[in-house]
Amino acid sequence: MKNKLFQSATNAPDARQWVGRYADYLYSYAVSRLEDDEQARDLVQETFLAALERLGDFRGASSERTWLTAILKYKIIEVYRKRNSGLSMVRVDQGPEPEFFEHSNGHWKEDFAPRPFGVETADPTLRRELAAILQRCIQRLPALWQSIFSLKHFDEEATETICRDLKITPANFWVIIHRAKLNLRACLQKEGL
């Protein structure tokens, strides 16, 4: 007879296999969003514990990996909230800085439009180098900006979800994401890209 804690039905996850199957993936996922090895390891352990506690809630609508990743994602959002809880919110009643955009259509002005990086390559060495430079630039952003940028562009979360989870207004979201992109662009250009 199998232990009910670990496997209660044929479609239920087998928790005894989680570390071997998913620990490396979950760790990579967490460290890429937090840039803190120790915190990433802690969150993976917390994810496994939370999944064990909610084992009965698993319905098999997604794979074990997807289910565990969703739990980890919410744990990362909690970290983002804690990082950002001491920050004062910036209230902005106007749209993004108009000097960068055409008033008539909202498109970039010619002088400020993004330029091609010229690093579209299949060479894995160059891709790793670009990823390292981008990660350094992201780390230079304020904590709230990092959180919002990561959720929007790495996790592809909906704007409404990010605003709800981080307790910011949509106007604040758009200003922050705009400023984060401008800062990242300036940083990448400074790095020679």
pLDDT tens-place string over residues 32-49: 888 788 988 999 999 989
Q: Is 173 left (phi over 0), alpha (psi -120 to 50) or beta?
A: alpha
Name the token pair of 155. Answer: 């996790």
pLDDT number for residue 102: 66
CB 22 within 8 A of CB 68: yes
**pLDDT tens figures, 82-118:** 877 655 444 444 444 446 666 666 676 777 676 665 5
pTM attached to this predicted model: 0.57
Range(s) for CATH 1.10.10.10 in the chain? 98-190
CATH number of 15-84: 1.10.1740
pLDDT number for residue 7: 44
Adjacent-strand bridge partners of 108: 101
pLDDT number for residue 98: 47
**pLDDT confidence bin for 53, thresholds 50/70/90:** confident
**pLDDT tens figures, 126-148:** 778 888 888 888 888 888 888 89
CA distances for 109 relative to 99, 106, 117, angstroms: 8, 9, 18
CB 26 within 8 A of CB 68: yes
Give the CATH architecture of domain 98-190: Orthogonal Bundle (1.10)
Range(s) for CATH 1.10.1740 in the chain? 15-84
